[in-house]
Structure 1
Amino acid sequence: MAVRGNGVGHGPGTHLRRRPAALLVALALGGALAGVLGVPVAPEAGASSVDADVVQALEASETSLFDEQAEVMPQMAITEAQAQQRLAEVAASRAQRDAEAAAAAEAARPDAVMPVDGARMTTCFCQRWGTMHRGIDLAAPMLTPEYAAEDGVVIKAGAASGYGLAVYILGVSGDVMIYGHMEEITVSAGDAVEMGQTIALVGSRGQSTGPHLHFEVHSGGINGEPVDPEEWLRDRGVDI
């Protein structure tokens, strides 16, 4: 790693190597000044011995500094192969976190949703006018979105006797959900739908006295026994 000095050619090694020379110059100037001022000066042989000791100590210190730098610098870099291995570890860790987050989100999903938001139930799964009403009626304004109550596949979508228009969905539960009287259908037979996906818009087609959704659930298939949709929804965490 390059280390910036105080100027061109003033790296750490250059700076340290110039110290002994600078010290010799200082010692020489000190000796000359002492002679002019009449200050006793030690014999030259002694001075040379002192200078040699100082220079030797500085060189030893410089060598020690470079040895320490040589020990530290290899720890400041890794090989490209090591970096690639580290990247693989990071990617694996991220993939595991993403999988765990997806699993947690899936576990937190409800088992079903209300087929129409803000609707009011006007007719129950019960006897009405001398016959069994095999679904529930959920009144809502015209063109209110209708949703797939659970994940599934559309098995029928279009005109239907009595309903005007109807959508039949085979859900992941194995039950078939029937939607009737809509003004517009937004899915087709064969479409895979997700829970909460818009499949139609509320209307009043067929034998209807006002805009609402007729919602039925047949247990185990389209020809299965009709069950109370209110209880079916409640069993999946949805209260009307």
Structure 2
Amino acid sequence: MPVTLPLPFRKLTVPSIGRRRVTTQVVATTTALCAGFGLLAAGADSDNEQINTVAATSAAHPGAEAPGEQQATSHDPAAWDPNKPAADNQPVAFPFPEPPRPTTVRPVDAVVSSGFGPRWGTAHNGIDFAGQMGAPIKTVTDGVVIEAGPATGFGLWVRVQQDDGTVGVYGHMQDILVQVGQPVRAGDVIATVGARGQSTGPHLHYEVHHPGLGKIDPMPWFAARGMDVNNFPG
């Protein structure tokens, strides 16, 4: 009978071509990973270098700005330091505009005690404010002082060329705080209440002299400027 011989045992081997492909893929993958880690490391070094540069700049120049930053403008007036150089001070900005300044001011914080017209058989050419002795007298409008000193009947007076061309007369004051030629603004203190001259007690006598018309009633003059002097809370 025929004899069947077993086939010789053969060791299986991976073709060299397959090995080269696997090796190439592993090397490529490893190279890509290494390149990625290299980029990350380079980026970290760049960030650290920038941080170190900013820190060194800040230490050398405390007022310097970091890259990409904009220095804020201070709105606090206390931020201005007169002892610093102008370049080191922050600009001071105010969020709200200054309110408008009044053009007409009550001359003294007191009630009207006497009006314009006949009184005690004579003409009373102004209005009286019953202020306390030494109370501040304020100029009614913007203007220029044209006379300040003694005057018959008034003891001491101040005359102001007012902003509309009229002349304001302030009489019987205790002290005069301005001089001739001095510009004044509405609300400036020009004198104090007194009782000098023909007076029965401390008060301010105020007149308005209109060019061409003479002495006029201050009440409608005040009203035309938007002020009711009879309306006083005190």
Following superposition, the deviation at residue 44 of structure 1 comes to 8.1
CA distance in 2, matches of 1:133, 1:143: 23
> TM (normalized to structure 2)?
0.63
Q: 1:66 to 1:227 in 2, by over 3 A?
A: farther
Query: SS of the residue aligned with 2:31?
Result: helix
CA distance in 1, matches of 2:213, 2:172: 21
CA distance in 1, matches of 2:41, 2:139: 74
Counterpart contact for 2:116–2:125, Cα < 8 Å = yes
Comparing 209-218 and 44-53, the one that deviates more: 44-53
Which amino acid in 2 is paired with 1:238? M
Counterpart contact for 2:157–2:170, Cα < 8 Å = yes
- Partner of residue 232, structure 2: none
Task: Please list, as runs of the form range in 1=range in 2, the aligned pairs for 1:42-61 lying within 5 A after superposition.
Answer: 46-47=22-23, 49-59=25-35
Which amino acid in 2 is paired with 1:230? M
Q: Percent identity, aligned pairs only?
A: 40
**5+ long unaligned stretches in structure 1:** 1-41, 79-90
Cα deviation digits, residues 44-68 of structure 1 (max 9, x gap): 873453133232255268559979x
Choose from 197, 210, 232 the match for 2:221: 232
Choose from 117, 139, 143 the match for 2:134: 143
Task: Please list, as runs of the form range in 1=range in 2, the aligned pairs for 1:1-240 lying within 5 A after superposition.
Answer: 46-47=22-23, 49-59=25-35, 77=68, 101-102=97-98, 105-106=99-100, 109-117=101-109, 119-220=110-211, 224-240=213-229
CA distance in 1, matches of 2:37, 2:209: 91
Comparing 227-236 and 200-209, the one that deviates more: 227-236
Q: Which has the higher helix share?
A: 1
Q: 1:234 to 1:66 in 2, by over 3 A?
A: farther
**5+ long unaligned stretches in structure 2:** 1-17, 51-66, 70-90, 230-234
- Count of equivalent residues: 174
Q: 1:65 to 1:186 in 2, by over 3 A?
A: same
CA distance in 2, matches of 1:47, 1:148: 102
How large is the Cα RMSD of the aligned pairs?
3.6
- Tell me which stretches of 4 or more aligned residues in structure 1 moved more than 3 Å: 42-45, 60-67
Following superposition, the deviation at residue 178 of structure 1 comes to 0.1
Cα deviation digits, residues 152-194 of structure 1 (max 9, x gap): 1100000000000000001111111000001111111111111
CA distance in 1, matches of 2:171, 2:213: 18
- Partner of residue 15, structure 2: none
Cα deviation digits, residues 206-231 of structure 1 (max 9, x gap): 000110000001123xx752121122
Which amino acid in 2 is paired with 1:226? K
